[in-house]
Amino acid sequence: MPPHILYAMPGSLYSGKVRAYLRKQHVDFIERAPSHPRFDEVRRAVGRWIIPVLETPDGVLIQDGSDILAHGEAAGLARLPALAGGPAQRVIGAIFELFGGEGMVRPAMHYRWDFDSENVPFLAQDFSGPMVLEGGAEARAASFAASSARMRQAARIFGVTPESAPVIEAAYARFLALFEAHLEATPYLLGGAPTLGDYGLFAPLHAHLARDPRPATLMKQTAWRVWRWVERMYAPNQDAGEYGDVAEAVLADDAVPETLKALLAFVAEDYLPEVEAFMAFYNDAAAGPDIVAGEVIGGRASQRVIGFTGFEWRGLTLSVAVFPYRVWLLQKVQDAFDGLAAEDRTRVRTLLAEVGLARILDLRPVRRVDRVDNREVWGAVAA
């Protein structure tokens, strides 16, 4: 059977999530950069310039890290299932997939684009290398200038400003300390094997925060176990020798250690205000009279933002873009919860209430977001 093909870039946040999953599962794949001639055809097929895209051996194109992981689980590719664990552990995995890939974009973008003297010599090569195969240094410089300008603008729509920068840094330092404490006793979030939440957190913690020079130094100097977790997530084996003989399995009995509860409490403090804000904006938009189920949200696939909203965050008022994709990931948390038996729902809600996160179960869309043909589309009105 021919290998899978992953269209990705080393410095891409969401590419790393998929690459780590494929490596952990021992999936045979080759990686191609967006400069590969075939990618133009791939781009047209998925409807927008976006990575990662996975091409399966039978030619099916799957865009989006979450969908690619779901494909791997459904297709039997998983040597170590990302959806392993008990009821609470599976819901927690979905929470960290949302928080890692979306809630941690602020520190990822700040630490990438606000430290030019340290980062740019590396980024200029890391961005242009996969994008420009011909034309020499001048073409690579022009490519980086264009892409970095877009990314700097994107950082602002995630709430990265000169005013928010010191607060972002303090919050990220707190996260590193909490994750470091959790990793004192366990190689991964839920024991001896990576699960969905690990892949979600890996996205920002690898591509931006462990590869770019400024944040990489910060992580190595202040959170060695987090740095080792990043290395471990990229290894095809368990790579956890410092823990002794640890079974390559999740914690038994649906266990949720106190250190993991502390991380969940951080998610409630750091990200729940933004979830509340984007859900209020989305629900206003989704209640409009002209909405047609099945249509691409925003009118075209390349239009991923449907507006802006503001919210109070750690003493600041932030203005951020609203992405329907984030509503879709939030639905995954709620769907995981809704699929539990009644007694498990009660237990999980009690756990999330303990850490201040129960509201994440109740911030429901008035109309679902679906993904069809690799695009976010309006779904059915919620029952």
| Last residue within a domain, chosen from 44, 74, 104 | 74
Which helix (H) or strand (E) covers residue 125, if one does? Answer: helix 116-128
Residue keyed to tokens 């009105």: 381
Shared domain check, 188 and 98: yes
Shared domain check, 145 and 67: no
What pLDDT score was predicted for residue 38? 94
Shared domain check, 106 and 20: no
81, part of any domain = no
Shared domain check, 327 and 195: no
Shared domain check, 107 and 209: yes
Among 63, 6, 5, 19, smallest CA distance to 230 is for 19
* Residue 312, token pair as written in the block: 């109070």
Among 321, 283, 326, 255, smallest CA distance to 99 is for 326
* 180 has a pLDDT exceeding 70: yes
Average pLDDT score over residue span 78-104: 97
* 267 has a pLDDT exceeding 80: yes
* 9 has a pLDDT exceeding 70: yes
What angle separates helix 213-222 from helix 105-113, to the nearest 10 degrees?
A: 120
What span, in angstroms and rounded, lies between the C-alpha atoms of 214 and 217? Answer: 6
Extended beta strands in the chain, E state:
4-7, 29-32, 53-55, 61-63, 308-313, 316-321, 367-372, 375-381
Average pLDDT, the chain: 95
Report the range of poorest mean pLDDT among 166-170, 263-267, 371-375.
371-375
Shared domain check, 309 and 181: no
DSSP 188-201: BTTBSS--HHHHHH
Shared domain check, 96 and 18: no
CATH number, domain at 113? 1.20.1050.10
Residue keyed to tokens 């005013």: 163
Shared domain check, 110 and 19: no
82, part of any domain = no
Query: Of all residues in the chain, what percent carry a pLDDT higher than 70?
Result: 99
Shared domain check, 155 and 218: yes
262, part of any domain = no
Cis peptide before 52 (omega within 30 of 0): yes
What angle separates helix 342-354 from helix 258-286, to the nearest 10 degrees?
A: 100
What span, in angstroms and rounded, lies between the C-alpha atoms of 374 and 73? Answer: 18
What pLDDT score was predicted for residue 141? 85
Q: Check: CB of residue 89 under 8 Å from CB of residue 256.
A: yes
Shared domain check, 199 and 245: yes
350, part of any domain = yes
83, part of any domain = no
Among 310, 303, 229, smallest CA distance to 20 is for 229
Q: Which residues contact 373 (CB under 8 A, 6 or more apart)?
A: 46, 47
pLDDT tens profile 30-83: 999 999 999 999 999 998 899 999 999 999 999 999 999 999 999 999 999 999
Shared domain check, 42 and 166: no
* Domain housing 226: 88-254
What span, in angstroms and rounded, lies between the C-alpha atoms of 97 and 231? Answer: 19
| Last residue within a domain, chosen from 74, 104, 132 | 74
Say how many domains are in the chain: 3
| Last residue within a domain, chosen from 74, 107, 133 | 74
What pLDDT score was predicted for residue 134? 66
pLDDT tens profile 294-348: 999 988 878 899 999 999 999 999 999 999 999 999 999 999 999 999 999 999 9
What span, in angstroms and rounded, lies between the C-alpha atoms of 234 and 240? Answer: 12
Shared domain check, 180 and 235: yes
pLDDT band at 146 (very low <50, low <70, confident <90, very high): confident
Torsion of CA 27, 239, 69, 255, to 10 degrees: 140
Q: Check: CB of residue 34 under 8 Å from CB of residue 18.
A: no
